[in-house]
Amino acid sequence: MTTEPNPNAPNAKAGAEPKSNGKRKRALLILLAVLVLAGLSWTTWYLLVARWHEDTDDAYAQGNVVSIVPQTIGTVVGIDADDGMKVVAGQALVHLDPNDARVAFDQSVANLANTVRQVRGLYSAVDAGAADLAARQASVDRARADLKRREGLVGNGAVSAEELAHARNELAVLEAGLRSINGNLSRNRALVDSTTVSSQPQVEAAASQLRQAYLNLQRTAIVAPVSGYVAKRQVQLGQRVQPGTTLMTIVPLEQIWVEANFKETQLSRMRIGQPVKVHADLYGSGVEYDGKVTSLGMGTGSAFSLLPAQNASGNWIKIVQRVPVRIEIEPRQLAEHPLRLGLSMHVDVTVRDQNGAVLADARKGGKTLFTTAAYDEQLNDANALIGKIIKQNLPTAVRN
């Protein structure tokens, strides 16, 4: 069975093709418009926002790690802190056997007391020597007068030559004794002139020995120089430790900063003081820290490595270097969301403000960046003890 061709079919196909082309053209125009709008949006975003920001994921939380080390040799008999514990400045962390230090301290106390009494004897010797000198001087003056009188009587025979010779010998003996007493008095005076008992050099030397013995006794209790959290405890009971041996470390979490390693091509517009937005992988994007650039590194990581790269020999491939940039975080935010050392951070620096310096200025006022008062009272207590011992060994009239 044959069918007759429809004479209207070609006309229908020809009418469908312009309609299909119109839809395709309209779709292409819409796509082109979207691409143009996207390009314009990206260009606008880059010109207004993106070009004023430099960011990196190569950033980590850093902070001060305070090593706890003994200042004297000893055997560990007590440990008062363990990993993760919070400690405060001045708190005892490790105790060493104090017996040897206590014996040396007791000897120093006795030595100071004995020295004070010996120095008191020097002052008494000066007073006694002055009185003896006055008596000897009177005897010499009397002998000299007797000799002069006898010399006037030799001519008329009232005094013999032998008696005159005896008078001269007696005067010579008395003058020699006077010179000896005067020399001893001068030596004793040289030891005590312009001093008091407490400022006499021998007493000060004994006091210095007592201070050292007192410090050695106090140092058997190893205290925390700063407040923070204990990390890496290595000390064990019974361990014989030496000065400089690291027993544990303390991390003050309020002194955390971020070290961001930027590419060298990102540093051209970076300045000290520029604002920074920081995110920690620990908290995610829900927690944002405010910070600022405090310093730009003085060299790349490879420049300060133990074995710096030597590019003068062999084949060379250029690698973009990174420079550490230090960023301080707002303390209040850091207290609300504490960080740990080594955590991964994301850093975004706003470089719009170009008024800051590239290199930090010299600090003014000489203020110390980090300090501790954990050891101040030790020497104050030693000085108070020295004053007490000196007072106890002075005469009762002076003591009161």
> How high is the pLDDT of residue 11?
53
> How high is the pLDDT of residue 9?
53
Cα separation, 267 vs 259, in Å, equals: 14
> How high is the pLDDT of residue 18?
62
> How high is the pLDDT of residue 144?
78
122 and 93, same domain (yes or no): no
344 and 299, same domain (yes or no): yes
Does any domain span residue 230? yes
83 and 226, same domain (yes or no): yes
CA distances from 325 to 56, 290, 341, 370 (A): 11, 15, 16, 21
Neighbours of 296 (CB within 10 A): 18
What DSSP letter does each residue of 285-350 carry, written as one string?
GG--EEEEEEEE-SS-TTTTSSS----SSS-------EEEEEEEE-HHHHHHS---TT-EEEEEEE
> How high is the pLDDT of residue 10?
53
Q: Looking at residue 342, which CATH number applies to its domain?
A: 2.40.30.170
227 and 194, same domain (yes or no): no
- pTM exceeds 0.75, yes or no: no
92 and 104, same domain (yes or no): no
Q: How many domains does the structure of the chain reveal?
A: 3
> How high is the pLDDT of residue 400?
40
Does any domain span residue 366? no
> How high is the pLDDT of residue 280?
95
Q: Looking at residue 225, which CATH number applies to its domain?
A: 2.40.50.100
Strand segments (E) across the chain:
53-63, 66-68, 74-79, 86-87, 92-96, 221-223, 228-231, 240-241, 248-251, 256-263, 275-280, 289-296, 322-329, 344-350
Question: Which residues form the domain of 234?
Answer: 66-97+220-250
Total residue count of the chain as it appears in this document: 400
> How high is the pLDDT of residue 15?
53
Pair of tokens at residue 21: 């082309």
Q: pLDDT, tens digit, for every residue of 353-384?
A: 888 888 888 776 667 888 888 888 888 888 99
233 and 257, same domain (yes or no): no
Does any domain span residue 210? no
Does any domain span residue 384? no
pLDDT < 50 positions in the chain: 1, 399-400
> How high is the pLDDT of residue 332?
94
130 and 160, same domain (yes or no): yes
114 and 188, same domain (yes or no): yes
Does any domain span residue 123? yes
258 and 339, same domain (yes or no): yes
Does any domain span residue 208? no
267 and 333, same domain (yes or no): yes
> How high is the pLDDT of residue 136?
75
89 and 106, same domain (yes or no): no
> How high is the pLDDT of residue 309?
74
What DSSP letter does each residue of 145-194 carry, written as one string?
HHHHHHHHHTTTTSS-HHHHHHHHHHHHHHHHHHHHHHHHHHHHHHHHTT
275 and 347, same domain (yes or no): yes
Pair of tokens at residue 25: 């053209």
